[in-house]
Protein backbone atom coordinates (compact mmCIF):
# COMPACT_ATOMS: atom_id res chain seq x y z
CA UNK A 1 0.00 0.00 0.00
CA UNK A 2 1.25 3.52 -0.80
CA UNK A 3 0.60 6.25 1.75
CA UNK A 4 0.40 9.45 -0.25
CA UNK A 5 0.75 11.72 2.76
CA UNK A 6 4.24 10.46 3.66
CA UNK A 7 6.70 13.34 3.83
CA UNK A 8 10.44 12.70 3.96
CA UNK A 9 13.24 14.99 5.08
CA UNK A 10 16.05 15.96 2.74
CA UNK A 11 18.26 13.56 4.65
CA UNK A 12 16.04 10.52 4.12
CA UNK A 13 18.16 7.52 3.20
CA UNK A 14 18.98 4.21 4.78
CA UNK A 15 22.12 5.00 6.75
CA UNK A 16 22.02 1.57 8.37
CA UNK A 17 24.68 -0.34 6.49
CA UNK A 18 23.42 -3.80 7.40
CA UNK A 19 25.91 -5.65 5.19
CA UNK A 20 28.83 -3.93 6.97
CA UNK A 21 27.30 -4.71 10.37
CA UNK A 22 27.11 -8.41 9.46
CA UNK A 23 30.67 -8.35 8.11
CA UNK A 24 32.08 -6.67 11.24
CA UNK A 25 30.19 -9.05 13.49
CA UNK A 26 31.61 -11.97 11.51
CA UNK A 27 35.25 -11.00 12.22
CA UNK A 28 37.40 -12.97 14.66
CA UNK A 29 36.89 -12.02 18.33
CA UNK A 30 38.73 -9.03 19.80
CA UNK A 31 41.47 -9.90 22.27
CA UNK A 32 42.07 -8.22 25.61
CA UNK A 33 44.66 -5.75 24.23
CA UNK A 34 42.28 -4.47 21.58
CA UNK A 35 39.41 -4.25 24.07
CA UNK A 36 41.63 -2.34 26.54
CA UNK A 37 42.57 0.16 23.81
CA UNK A 38 38.93 0.70 22.86
CA UNK A 39 37.69 1.22 26.41
CA UNK A 40 40.59 3.64 26.97
CA UNK A 41 39.11 5.80 24.14
CA UNK A 42 35.74 5.85 25.89
CA UNK A 43 37.25 6.62 29.28
CA UNK A 44 39.03 9.44 27.49
CA UNK A 45 35.58 10.80 26.57
CA UNK A 46 35.69 9.78 22.91
CA UNK A 47 32.58 8.16 21.45
CA UNK A 48 33.16 4.95 19.48
CA UNK A 49 32.36 4.45 15.80
CA UNK A 50 29.99 1.64 14.86
CA UNK A 51 33.00 -0.37 13.64
CA UNK A 52 34.79 0.05 16.97
CA UNK A 53 31.57 -0.84 18.78
CA UNK A 54 31.37 -4.03 16.72
CA UNK A 55 34.81 -4.99 18.04
CA UNK A 56 33.54 -4.71 21.62
CA UNK A 57 30.48 -6.75 20.63
CA UNK A 58 32.87 -9.41 19.30
CA UNK A 59 34.71 -9.74 22.61
CA UNK A 60 34.39 -13.22 24.07
CA UNK A 61 35.32 -14.94 27.30
CA UNK A 62 34.67 -13.90 30.89
CA UNK A 63 37.98 -12.04 31.41
CA UNK A 64 37.63 -9.85 28.32
CA UNK A 65 33.96 -9.16 29.00
CA UNK A 66 34.84 -8.16 32.55
CA UNK A 67 37.15 -5.46 31.13
CA UNK A 68 34.13 -3.99 29.33
CA UNK A 69 31.79 -4.21 32.33
CA UNK A 70 34.42 -2.70 34.57
CA UNK A 71 35.09 0.21 32.21
CA UNK A 72 31.35 0.98 32.00
CA UNK A 73 31.12 0.99 35.81
CA UNK A 74 34.12 3.34 35.99
CA UNK A 75 32.67 5.70 33.36
CA UNK A 76 29.33 5.82 35.15
CA UNK A 77 30.93 6.37 38.57
CA UNK A 78 33.59 8.87 37.59
CA UNK A 79 31.66 10.89 35.04
CA UNK A 80 28.03 10.73 36.05
CA UNK A 81 28.28 10.01 39.77
CA UNK A 82 25.37 8.54 41.69
CA UNK A 83 22.33 10.39 40.25
CA UNK A 84 19.40 8.49 38.74
CA UNK A 85 16.57 10.48 37.15
CA UNK A 86 13.04 9.17 37.73
CA UNK A 87 10.00 9.41 35.49
CA UNK A 88 6.65 7.67 34.88
CA UNK A 89 4.93 6.56 31.67
CA UNK A 90 1.30 7.54 31.07
CA UNK A 91 -0.66 5.76 28.34
CA UNK A 92 -3.11 8.22 26.77
CA UNK A 93 -4.79 5.96 24.23
CA UNK A 94 -4.30 2.56 22.62
CA UNK A 95 -6.24 2.93 19.38
CA UNK A 96 -3.83 1.77 16.71
CA UNK A 97 -3.92 1.22 12.95
CA UNK A 98 -0.62 -0.67 12.97
CA UNK A 99 -0.21 -4.37 13.40
CA UNK A 100 3.18 -4.89 15.03
CA UNK A 101 3.54 -8.62 15.56
CA UNK A 102 4.90 -8.28 19.11
CA UNK A 103 2.40 -5.78 20.54
CA UNK A 104 -0.85 -6.44 22.38
CA UNK A 105 -2.31 -3.18 21.02
CA UNK A 106 -1.94 -4.25 17.35
CA UNK A 107 -5.11 -3.80 15.34
CA UNK A 108 -5.60 -7.53 14.74
CA UNK A 109 -5.73 -8.38 18.46
CA UNK A 110 -9.42 -8.80 19.31
CA UNK A 111 -8.63 -9.21 23.01
CA UNK A 112 -7.21 -5.69 23.41
CA UNK A 113 -9.58 -3.38 25.28
CA UNK A 114 -9.46 -0.08 23.34
CA UNK A 115 -9.62 3.16 25.19
CA UNK A 116 -8.58 6.81 25.06
CA UNK A 117 -8.51 8.84 28.27
CA UNK A 118 -11.19 11.52 28.47
CA UNK A 119 -10.25 15.01 29.69
CA UNK A 120 -11.53 14.14 33.14
CA UNK A 121 -9.73 10.81 33.23
CA UNK A 122 -6.53 12.51 32.13
CA UNK A 123 -6.84 15.03 34.96
CA UNK A 124 -7.35 12.29 37.52
CA UNK A 125 -4.33 10.34 36.24
CA UNK A 126 -2.13 13.44 36.42
CA UNK A 127 -3.34 14.40 39.89
CA UNK A 128 -2.65 10.89 41.11
CA UNK A 129 0.85 10.94 39.61
CA UNK A 130 1.55 14.34 41.16
CA UNK A 131 0.33 13.12 44.54
CA UNK A 132 2.87 10.33 44.36
CA UNK A 133 5.63 12.88 43.71
CA UNK A 134 6.26 12.53 39.97
CA UNK A 135 7.60 15.53 38.06
CA UNK A 136 8.58 13.99 34.71
CA UNK A 137 6.26 11.98 32.46
CA UNK A 138 6.40 10.26 29.14
CA UNK A 139 3.01 10.23 27.40
CA UNK A 140 2.42 7.20 25.18
CA UNK A 141 0.01 7.18 22.22
CA UNK A 142 -0.91 4.46 19.73
CA UNK A 143 -0.74 5.38 16.02
CA UNK A 144 -4.18 6.49 14.94
CA UNK A 145 -5.65 9.45 13.03
CA UNK A 146 -7.29 10.57 16.28
CA UNK A 147 -3.87 11.17 17.86
CA UNK A 148 -2.63 13.77 15.38
CA UNK A 149 -0.18 16.60 16.17
CA UNK A 150 -2.91 18.93 17.40
CA UNK A 151 -4.32 16.26 19.71
CA UNK A 152 -0.88 15.47 21.14
CA UNK A 153 -0.11 19.18 21.65
CA UNK A 154 -3.47 19.71 23.42
CA UNK A 155 -2.83 16.82 25.78
CA UNK A 156 0.65 18.18 26.58
CA UNK A 157 -0.77 21.61 27.43
CA UNK A 158 -3.44 20.06 29.62
CA UNK A 159 -0.87 18.03 31.51
CA UNK A 160 1.25 21.10 32.27
CA UNK A 161 -1.82 22.99 33.48
CA UNK A 162 -2.93 20.41 36.06
CA UNK A 163 -1.72 21.01 39.63
CA UNK A 164 -2.75 19.50 42.89
CA UNK A 165 -1.26 20.58 46.21
CA UNK A 166 2.42 21.28 45.62
CA UNK A 167 2.40 18.91 42.67
CA UNK A 168 3.24 19.81 39.09
CA UNK A 169 4.52 18.03 36.03
CA UNK A 170 7.63 19.89 34.91
CA UNK A 171 8.65 17.91 31.88
CA UNK A 172 6.41 16.05 29.42
CA UNK A 173 8.12 13.71 26.98
CA UNK A 174 6.30 11.98 24.13
CA UNK A 175 6.32 8.51 22.62
CA UNK A 176 4.03 8.58 19.61
CA UNK A 177 3.81 7.96 15.89
CA UNK A 178 6.17 9.80 13.52
CA UNK A 179 4.82 13.13 12.29
CA UNK A 180 5.68 15.40 9.38
CA UNK A 181 7.82 18.50 9.97
CA UNK A 182 4.77 20.75 10.49
CA UNK A 183 3.33 18.29 13.00
CA UNK A 184 6.58 18.14 14.95
CA UNK A 185 6.62 21.96 15.04
CA UNK A 186 3.13 22.00 16.49
CA UNK A 187 4.04 19.53 19.22
CA UNK A 188 7.27 21.37 20.02
CA UNK A 189 5.29 24.60 20.48
CA UNK A 190 3.35 22.90 23.28
CA UNK A 191 6.60 22.67 25.27
CA UNK A 192 7.52 19.00 25.05
CA UNK A 193 10.77 17.64 26.40
CA UNK A 194 11.98 14.63 24.41
CA UNK A 195 10.20 13.13 21.37
CA UNK A 196 10.90 9.42 21.42
CA UNK A 197 10.47 7.05 18.47
CA UNK A 198 11.86 3.53 18.51
CA UNK A 199 12.95 1.89 15.27
CA UNK A 200 12.18 -1.44 17.04
CA UNK A 201 14.75 -3.26 14.88
CA UNK A 202 17.30 -1.78 12.48
CA UNK A 203 17.47 -5.07 10.56
CA UNK A 204 15.26 -4.29 7.58
CA UNK A 205 14.11 -7.82 6.66
CA UNK A 206 13.14 -8.47 10.28
CA UNK A 207 11.47 -5.07 10.45
CA UNK A 208 9.24 -6.06 7.52
CA UNK A 209 8.45 -9.41 9.11
CA UNK A 210 6.94 -7.74 12.17
CA UNK A 211 5.39 -4.67 10.52
CA UNK A 212 2.99 -5.48 7.66
CA UNK A 213 3.37 -3.45 4.47
CA UNK A 214 -0.25 -2.29 4.53
CA UNK A 215 0.32 -0.34 7.75
CA UNK A 216 1.96 3.07 8.17
CA UNK A 217 4.60 1.56 10.39
CA UNK A 218 5.38 -0.95 7.64
CA UNK A 219 7.50 1.72 5.88
CA UNK A 220 11.02 1.24 7.28
CA UNK A 221 12.53 4.40 5.80
CA UNK A 222 9.64 6.64 6.82
CA UNK A 223 10.22 5.61 10.41
CA UNK A 224 14.01 5.78 10.18
CA UNK A 225 13.69 9.32 8.82
CA UNK A 226 11.25 10.42 11.56
CA UNK A 227 13.81 11.99 13.86
CA UNK A 228 15.43 13.82 10.93
CA UNK A 229 12.04 15.50 10.47
CA UNK A 230 11.72 16.13 14.21
CA UNK A 231 15.12 17.79 14.32
CA UNK A 232 14.41 19.74 11.14
CA UNK A 233 11.34 21.06 12.98
CA UNK A 234 13.57 22.28 15.80
CA UNK A 235 13.11 19.46 18.31
CA UNK A 236 16.70 18.96 19.43
CA UNK A 237 15.78 16.56 22.16
CA UNK A 238 15.00 13.17 20.65
CA UNK A 239 15.06 9.61 21.96
CA UNK A 240 15.91 6.50 19.94
CA UNK A 241 15.36 2.88 20.89
CA UNK A 242 15.21 -0.72 19.78
CA UNK A 243 13.08 -3.59 20.99
CA UNK A 244 15.61 -6.24 21.88
CA UNK A 245 14.57 -9.78 21.03
CA UNK A 246 13.33 -9.19 17.48
CA UNK A 247 16.74 -9.79 15.89
CA UNK A 248 20.38 -10.34 16.92
CA UNK A 249 21.06 -7.97 19.82
CA UNK A 250 24.51 -7.19 18.47
CA UNK A 251 23.10 -5.93 15.16
CA UNK A 252 20.54 -3.72 16.86
CA UNK A 253 23.17 -2.31 19.22
CA UNK A 254 25.13 -1.26 16.13
CA UNK A 255 21.92 0.19 14.67
CA UNK A 256 21.46 2.38 17.74
CA UNK A 257 25.08 3.57 17.64
CA UNK A 258 24.87 4.28 13.88
CA UNK A 259 21.62 6.22 14.41
CA UNK A 260 23.29 8.30 17.16
CA UNK A 261 26.26 9.02 14.87
CA UNK A 262 23.90 9.98 12.01
CA UNK A 263 22.04 12.54 14.17
CA UNK A 264 25.28 13.91 15.60
CA UNK A 265 26.83 14.34 12.15
CA UNK A 266 23.79 15.95 10.57
CA UNK A 267 22.40 18.08 13.39
CA UNK A 268 25.42 18.62 15.64
CA UNK A 269 23.68 16.88 18.52
CA UNK A 270 23.13 13.20 19.14
CA UNK A 271 20.04 11.62 20.68
CA UNK A 272 19.14 12.72 24.19
CA UNK A 273 18.33 9.18 25.27
CA UNK A 274 18.55 5.59 24.13
CA UNK A 275 16.04 2.96 25.27
CA UNK A 276 16.55 -0.78 24.97
CA UNK A 277 13.44 -2.65 26.15
CA UNK A 278 13.54 -6.43 25.94
CA UNK A 279 10.51 -8.26 24.54
CA UNK A 280 8.09 -9.39 27.23
CA UNK A 281 4.94 -11.50 27.04
CA UNK A 282 1.80 -9.53 26.12
CA UNK A 283 -1.85 -10.29 25.48
CA UNK A 284 -2.35 -12.50 22.40
CA UNK A 285 1.31 -12.23 21.38
CA UNK A 286 3.12 -15.23 20.02
CA UNK A 287 6.76 -14.35 19.39
CA UNK A 288 9.83 -16.05 18.06
CA UNK A 289 12.16 -16.66 20.98
CA UNK A 290 15.29 -17.33 18.91
CA UNK A 291 16.59 -13.85 19.56
CA UNK A 292 15.63 -13.50 23.21
CA UNK A 293 18.45 -11.66 24.99
CA UNK A 294 19.84 -13.40 28.08
CA UNK A 295 20.49 -11.42 31.25
CA UNK A 296 24.24 -11.76 30.73
CA UNK A 297 24.05 -10.42 27.16
CA UNK A 298 21.70 -7.65 28.27
CA UNK A 299 24.26 -6.43 30.82
CA UNK A 300 26.99 -6.55 28.21
CA UNK A 301 24.87 -4.64 25.74
CA UNK A 302 24.18 -1.84 28.25
CA UNK A 303 27.87 -1.62 29.18
CA UNK A 304 28.88 -1.44 25.49
CA UNK A 305 26.30 1.28 24.77
CA UNK A 306 27.58 3.26 27.76
CA UNK A 307 31.09 3.11 26.32
CA UNK A 308 30.08 3.74 22.69
CA UNK A 309 27.86 6.82 23.27
CA UNK A 310 29.14 8.16 26.57
CA UNK A 311 27.18 11.44 26.48
CA UNK A 312 23.73 9.96 25.80
CA UNK A 313 21.26 9.16 28.57
CA UNK A 314 20.39 5.48 28.91
CA UNK A 315 16.83 4.58 29.94
CA UNK A 316 15.98 1.31 31.66
CA UNK A 317 12.27 0.65 32.04
CA UNK A 318 10.13 -1.26 34.49
CA UNK A 319 9.79 -4.05 31.94
CA UNK A 320 12.83 -5.43 33.74
CA UNK A 321 12.67 -7.09 37.15
CA UNK A 322 13.82 -5.22 40.28
CA UNK A 323 16.85 -7.52 40.48
CA UNK A 324 18.03 -6.81 36.94
CA UNK A 325 17.36 -3.10 37.34
CA UNK A 326 19.42 -2.97 40.49
CA UNK A 327 22.32 -4.77 38.85
CA UNK A 328 22.53 -2.81 35.61
CA UNK A 329 22.19 0.64 37.16
CA UNK A 330 25.90 0.43 37.85
CA UNK A 331 26.76 0.09 34.14
CA UNK A 332 25.61 3.54 33.20
CA UNK A 333 21.82 3.70 33.18
CA UNK A 334 20.85 7.29 33.92
CA UNK A 335 17.03 7.20 33.96
CA UNK A 336 14.42 4.73 35.18
CA UNK A 337 10.67 4.79 35.51
CA UNK A 338 9.13 3.93 38.84
CA UNK A 339 5.67 3.23 40.19
CA UNK A 340 4.66 2.63 36.57
CA UNK A 341 1.19 1.47 35.46
CA UNK A 342 0.87 0.84 31.76
CA UNK A 343 -2.82 -0.02 31.46
CA UNK A 344 -5.07 2.85 30.40
CA UNK A 345 -6.33 4.59 33.53
CA UNK A 346 -4.05 2.41 35.64
CA UNK A 347 -2.87 5.05 38.12
CA UNK A 348 -6.33 5.55 39.58
CA UNK A 349 -7.90 2.19 38.81
CA UNK A 350 -5.13 -0.11 39.98
CA UNK A 351 -3.18 2.19 42.30
CA UNK A 352 -0.11 0.48 43.66
CA UNK A 353 -1.74 -2.97 43.54
CA UNK A 354 0.89 -5.38 42.31
CA UNK A 355 -1.38 -7.08 39.80
CA UNK A 356 -1.57 -6.70 36.06
CA UNK A 357 -4.38 -6.94 33.55
CA UNK A 358 -2.87 -8.15 30.30
CA UNK A 359 -5.92 -7.35 28.13
CA UNK A 360 -5.34 -3.69 28.93
CA UNK A 361 -1.55 -3.53 28.69
CA UNK A 362 0.92 -3.36 25.83
CA UNK A 363 3.32 -5.78 27.56
CA UNK A 364 3.99 -7.16 31.02
CA UNK A 365 5.94 -5.17 33.60
CA UNK A 366 8.73 -6.76 35.57
CA UNK A 367 8.86 -4.12 38.30
CA UNK A 368 5.52 -3.02 39.73
CA UNK A 369 6.82 -1.49 42.96
CA UNK A 370 5.61 1.94 44.02
CA UNK A 371 7.70 5.07 43.48
CA UNK A 372 8.36 5.24 47.22
CA UNK A 373 9.68 1.67 47.33
CA UNK A 374 11.98 2.29 44.37
CA UNK A 375 13.19 5.56 45.92
CA UNK A 376 13.85 3.74 49.19
CA UNK A 377 15.96 1.09 47.50
CA UNK A 378 17.92 3.61 45.42
CA UNK A 379 18.73 5.59 48.55
CA UNK A 380 19.82 2.51 50.44
CA UNK A 381 22.11 1.60 47.56
CA UNK A 382 23.73 5.05 47.72
CA UNK A 383 22.07 6.58 44.64
CA UNK A 384 20.75 10.13 44.52
CA UNK A 385 17.27 9.89 42.97
CA UNK A 386 16.64 13.12 41.08
CA UNK A 387 13.61 14.80 39.54
CA UNK A 388 15.73 17.60 38.12
CA UNK A 389 14.40 19.39 35.04
CA UNK A 390 16.57 22.50 35.35
CA UNK A 391 18.38 22.48 31.99
CA UNK A 392 15.21 22.07 30.03
CA UNK A 393 13.53 24.89 31.96
CA UNK A 394 16.51 27.21 31.51
CA UNK A 395 16.92 26.39 27.82
CA UNK A 396 20.19 24.56 28.48
CA UNK A 397 19.77 21.93 25.76
CA UNK A 398 22.18 19.12 25.02
CA UNK A 399 22.27 18.50 28.74
CA UNK A 400 23.81 15.04 28.68
CA UNK A 401 26.56 16.35 26.51
CA UNK A 402 27.20 19.19 28.95
CA UNK A 403 27.29 17.00 32.02
CA UNK A 404 29.70 14.74 30.22
CA UNK A 405 31.91 17.29 28.52
CA UNK A 406 31.95 20.42 30.69
CA UNK A 407 34.27 20.05 33.68
CA UNK A 408 32.45 20.76 36.95
CA UNK A 409 28.96 20.80 35.39
CA UNK A 410 27.70 17.97 37.56
CA UNK A 411 29.06 19.53 40.76
CA UNK A 412 27.67 22.97 39.90
CA UNK A 413 24.25 21.99 38.63
CA UNK A 414 23.26 18.35 38.67
CA UNK A 415 24.09 17.41 42.26
CA UNK A 416 22.57 20.53 43.90
CA UNK A 417 19.44 20.23 41.74
CA UNK A 418 19.25 16.52 42.47
CA UNK A 419 19.39 17.28 46.19
CA UNK A 420 16.70 19.97 46.15
CA UNK A 421 14.31 17.85 44.07
CA UNK A 422 14.97 14.87 46.32
CA UNK A 423 14.23 17.00 49.37
CA UNK A 424 10.97 18.21 47.81
CA UNK A 425 9.99 14.57 47.41
CA UNK A 426 10.99 13.68 50.97
CA UNK A 427 9.10 16.59 52.52
CA UNK A 428 5.97 16.35 50.37
CA UNK A 429 5.46 12.67 49.54
CA UNK A 430 7.85 10.16 51.11
CA UNK A 431 7.12 7.45 53.67
CA UNK A 432 8.84 7.74 57.05
CA UNK A 433 11.50 5.16 56.11
CA UNK A 434 12.26 6.71 52.74
CA UNK A 435 12.48 10.15 54.31
CA UNK A 436 14.96 8.87 56.87
CA UNK A 437 17.13 7.24 54.20
CA UNK A 438 16.90 10.38 52.05
CA UNK A 439 17.87 12.74 54.85
CA UNK A 440 20.92 10.58 55.58
CA UNK A 441 21.97 10.70 51.93
CA UNK A 442 21.51 14.48 51.83
CA UNK A 443 23.70 14.88 54.94
CA UNK A 444 26.41 12.72 53.42
CA UNK A 445 26.34 14.61 50.12
CA UNK A 446 26.50 18.00 51.86
CA UNK A 447 29.38 16.82 54.03
CA UNK A 448 31.35 15.89 50.91
CA UNK A 449 30.86 19.32 49.28
CA UNK A 450 33.65 21.82 49.87
CA UNK A 451 32.57 25.12 51.41
CA UNK A 452 31.56 27.72 48.84
CA UNK A 453 29.00 30.45 48.25
CA UNK A 454 26.99 27.98 46.19
CA UNK A 455 26.91 25.46 49.03
CA UNK A 456 25.60 28.15 51.39
CA UNK A 457 22.93 29.04 48.83
CA UNK A 458 21.99 25.39 48.49
CA UNK A 459 21.62 25.05 52.26
CA UNK A 460 19.48 28.19 52.33
CA UNK A 461 17.23 26.83 49.59
CA UNK A 462 16.86 23.50 51.35
CA UNK A 463 15.80 25.35 54.48
CA UNK A 464 13.17 27.16 52.40
CA UNK A 465 11.85 23.84 51.07
CA UNK A 466 11.55 22.46 54.61
CA UNK A 467 9.87 25.54 56.05
CA UNK A 468 7.82 27.10 53.26
CA UNK A 469 5.87 26.29 50.10
CA UNK A 470 8.77 27.41 47.90
CA UNK A 471 9.52 24.72 45.30
CA UNK A 472 11.35 24.32 42.00
CA UNK A 473 14.46 26.23 43.17
CA UNK A 474 16.94 25.12 40.54
CA UNK A 475 20.48 26.23 39.70
Residue 273 interacts with ligand SF4 (CB under 6 A): yes or no: no
Q: What track of x and - describes contact with ligand SF4 for positions 420 through 439 (by CB under 6 A)?
A: --------------------
Please state the closest distance from residue 474 (CB atom) to ligand SF4, in A.
Answer: 7
> Within 336-395, which residues bind ligand SF4 (CB under 6 A)?
386, 388-391
Dihedral through CA 197, CA 228, CA 242, CA 317, nearest 10?
Answer: -40
Residue 414 interacts with ligand SF4 (CB under 6 A): yes or no: yes
Binder of ligand SF4 out of 90, 92, 96, 246 (CB under 6 A):
96
Residue 403 interacts with ligand SF4 (CB under 6 A): yes or no: yes
Going by C-alpha positions, the residue among 466, 375, 381, 468 that lies closest to residue 420 is 466
Please state the closest distance from residue 210 (CB atom) to ligand SF4, in A.
Answer: 9
Residue 98 interacts with ligand SF4 (CB under 6 A): yes or no: yes
Residue 399 interacts with ligand SF4 (CB under 6 A): yes or no: yes
Nearer to ligand SF4, 142 or 245 (CB): 142
How far apart (Å, rounded) are the C-alpha atoms in residues 420 and 473? Answer: 7
> Within 12-71, which residues bind ligand SF4 (CB under 6 A)?
none
Give the interface segment with ligand SF4, choosing from 98-106, 250-258, 346-354, 424-432 (CB under 6 A): 98-106
> Within 207-266, which residues bind ligand SF4 (CB under 6 A)?
217
Binder of ligand SF4 out of 199, 283, 340, 417 (CB under 6 A):
417
Residue 106 interacts with ligand SF4 (CB under 6 A): yes or no: yes
- By the 10 Å C-beta count (0-12 exposed, 13-18 middle, 19+ buried), 356 is classed as middle
| Residues 315, 335 contacting (CB under 8 angstroms) | yes
Long-range contacts of 398-401 (CB under 8 A, 24+ apart): 398/236, 398/269, 399/272, 400/272, 400/273, 400/311, 400/312, 400/313, 400/334, 401/269, 401/270, 401/311
Nearer to ligand SF4, 164 or 409 (CB): 409
How many residues touch ligand SF4 (CB under 6 A)?
A: 19
How far apart (Å, rounded) are the C-alpha atoms in residues 267 and 259? Answer: 12
| Residues 294, 302 contacting (CB under 8 angstroms) | no
Q: In this structure, what are the phi and psi dihedrals at residue 348, rounded to the nearest 5 degrees? A: -100, -30
**Residues at the interface with ligand SF4 (CB under 6 A):** 96, 98, 100, 103, 105-106, 142-143, 217, 386, 388-391, 399, 403, 413-414, 417
Amino acid sequence: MIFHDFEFSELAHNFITGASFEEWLGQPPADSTEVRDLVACSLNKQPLTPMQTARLLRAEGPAVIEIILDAARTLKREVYGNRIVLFAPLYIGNLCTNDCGYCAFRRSNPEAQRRTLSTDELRRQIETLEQKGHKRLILVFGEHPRYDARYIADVVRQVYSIHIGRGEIRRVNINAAPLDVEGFREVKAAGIGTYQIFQETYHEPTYHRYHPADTRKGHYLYRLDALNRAMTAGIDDVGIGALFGLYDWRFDTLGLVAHAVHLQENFGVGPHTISFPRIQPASGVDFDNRYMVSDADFKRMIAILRLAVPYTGLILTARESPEIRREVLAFGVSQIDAGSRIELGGYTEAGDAQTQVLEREQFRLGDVRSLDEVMGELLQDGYLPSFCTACYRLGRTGEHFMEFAIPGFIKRYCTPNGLTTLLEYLVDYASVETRRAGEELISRELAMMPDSAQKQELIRRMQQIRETDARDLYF
